[in-house]
């Protein structure tokens, strides 16, 4: 089922929290709405669900305008961060509740509950109560309750944020596999870029209620549309150094970097991914820096270098060692450079 948002806006009084959001979610797609707190992502999801009214624009599901429809008529199922389970009902009763509301006969209801419980590995827990379950098990109950309805669209609002890091990783894999198997269109809200990058077919990155970029995880990482996207996506975030761009040469202090273009920008930013940088001798580097810190992560050492007032991260070999404040060089390939206009945040592309 497709979901289309056409120039959708939302205001609370005089405050506009979503600005002309337009996007189309394809049938069977896993789309992630990503952004920091206050970016408008949960508001967008709640409007799709019908839990918030639309100030301007139109929402359609499978070609049908649902902008003014009640939530119960939209054929969507929502999974909340808080699980929202009934504490006095068993796992089986929680899962089967949507079917009970529809007055399905008991035999069919029990069969469907067992089937969906098997898909999320809850077969042995059907007689337990929520208080007897772990966080991950409760989340699977909430998912199963949504699945049993066989909705046109799954809507998920930060469903994994209450879980510990290890369980989040496990549940990400389960969610991705489950959505692939069921093929149900899914719109998922998160502030966690790792969740977005690992789960999504496409990511819609929001900031200040505006869509910054809509693309596949690979594209949004390798070809960011602007400075905000570049610094939001990546762990560690993209390195940035501030300076000027003079006829295609980036200048920051004593450093001069040929960028391959011919632009001139007064307030420019050069961007580099940590994995695209190498620590070398000062005389061999494209940029001269001083070592600020180095941290053994396990499979690599994360080196932090100071360039003027900017801090740059470099992923070095796990055996790398160096002294604090030691002069170093940072080398990189010219095709790995990103350039931005600091004043507008716009990407500067060499054409």
For residue 259, the domain's CATH number is 2.40.50.140
Of 203, 228, 253, the last residue of a domain is 228
Q: Write out 137-201 in H/E/C secondary structure.
A: HHHHHHHHHHHCCCCCEEEEECCCCCCCHHHHHHHHHHHHHHHHHHCCEEEEEECCHHHHHHHCC
Residue 40 sits in a domain whose CATH number is: 3.40.50.300
Contact 62, 93 (CB under 8 A): no
* Alpha carbon distance 163, 161 (integer Å): 6
Q: What is the pTM of this model?
A: 0.89
Domain stops at, among 211, 228, 245: 228
Q: Fill in the DSSP letter of residue 219.
A: H
Assess contact for 160 and 199: CB atoms under 8 A. no
Please name which of 93, 94, 46, 99 lies closest in space to residue 74, comparing C-alpha atoms. 46
Please name the residues in contact with 181: beta carbons below 8 A apart, sequence gap of 6 or more.
119
Phi then psi for residue 323, to 5 deg, are -90, 155
Residues 303 and 154 grouped into a single domain: no
233 Cβ contact partners less than 8 Å away, ≥ 6 residues apart: 193, 197, 205, 220, 221, 224
CA nearest neighbour of 56 among 67, 65, 48, 45: 67
pLDDT on residue 143: 84
> Helix and strand tally (H, E) in the chain?
8, 21
Q: Are residues 174 and 34 in the same domain?
A: yes
Residue that terminates a domain, selected from 201, 228, 255: 228
Residues 189, 200: Cα–Cα separation, whole Å: 11
pLDDT per residue, tens digit, the chain (351 aa), is: 899 999 999 999 999 999 999 999 999 999 999 999 999 999 999 999 999 999 999 999 999 999 999 998 999 988 887 778 899 999 999 999 989 888 888 889 999 999 889 888 888 999 999 999 988 888 889 888 988 888 889 999 988 887 778 878 888 888 888 888 888 999 999 999 999 999 999 999 999 999 999 999 999 999 999 999 999 999 889 999 999 999 989 999 899 999 988 889 999 999 999 999 999 999 999 999 999 999 999 999 999 999 999 999 999 999 988 889 999 999 999 889 999 999 999 999 876
For residues 146 and 264, membership in a common domain is answered with: no
Is residue 3 within 8 A of residue 64, CB to CB? The reply is no
The number of domains in the chain is 2
């Amino acid at each position: 089922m497709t979901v289309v948002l056409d120039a959708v806006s939302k205001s609370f009084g005089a405050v506009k929290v979503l600005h002309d959001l337009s996007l189309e979610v394809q049938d069977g797609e896993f789309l992630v709405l990503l952004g920091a707190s206050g970016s408008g992502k949960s508001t967008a999801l709640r409007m799709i669900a019908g839990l918030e009214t639309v100030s301007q624009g139109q929402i359609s599901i499978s070609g049908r305008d649902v902008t003014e429809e009640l939530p119960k008529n939209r054929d969507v199922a929502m999974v909340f961060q808080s699980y929202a389970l009934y504490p006095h009902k068993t796992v089986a009763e929680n899962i089967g509740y949507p079917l009970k509301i529809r007055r399905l006969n008991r035999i069919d209801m029990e069969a469907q509950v067992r089937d969906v419980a098997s898909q999320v590995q809850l077969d042995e827990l059907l007689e337990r109560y929520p208080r007897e379950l772990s966080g991950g098990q409760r989340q699977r109950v909430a998912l199963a309750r949504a699945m049993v309805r066989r909705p046109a669209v799954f809507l998920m609002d930060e469903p994994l944020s209450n879980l510990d890091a290890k369980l989040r990783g496990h549940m990400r894999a389960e969610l991705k596999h489950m959505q692939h198997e069921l093929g149900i269109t899914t719109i998922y809200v998160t502030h966690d870029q790792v969740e977005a990058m690992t789960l999504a077919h496409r990511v819609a990155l929001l900031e200040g209620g505006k869509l910054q970029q809509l693309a596949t995880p690979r594209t949004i990482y390798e070809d960011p549309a602007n400075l905000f996207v570049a610094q939001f996506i990546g762990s560690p975030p993209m390195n940035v150094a501030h300076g000027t761009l003079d006829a295609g040469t980036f200048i920051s202090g004593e450093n001069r970097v040929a960028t391959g273009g011919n632009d001139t920008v007064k307030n420019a930013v050069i961007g580099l991914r940590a994995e695209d940088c190498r620590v070398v001798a000062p005389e061999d580097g494209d940029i001269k820096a001083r070592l600020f810190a180095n941290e053994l992560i396990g499979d690599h050492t994360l080196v932090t270098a100071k360039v003027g007032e900017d801090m740059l991260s470099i992923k070095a070999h796990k055996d790398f060692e160096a002294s604090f404040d030691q002069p170093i060089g940072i080398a990189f390939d010219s095709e790995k450079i990103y350039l931005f206009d600091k004043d507008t945040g716009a990407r500067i592309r060499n054409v």
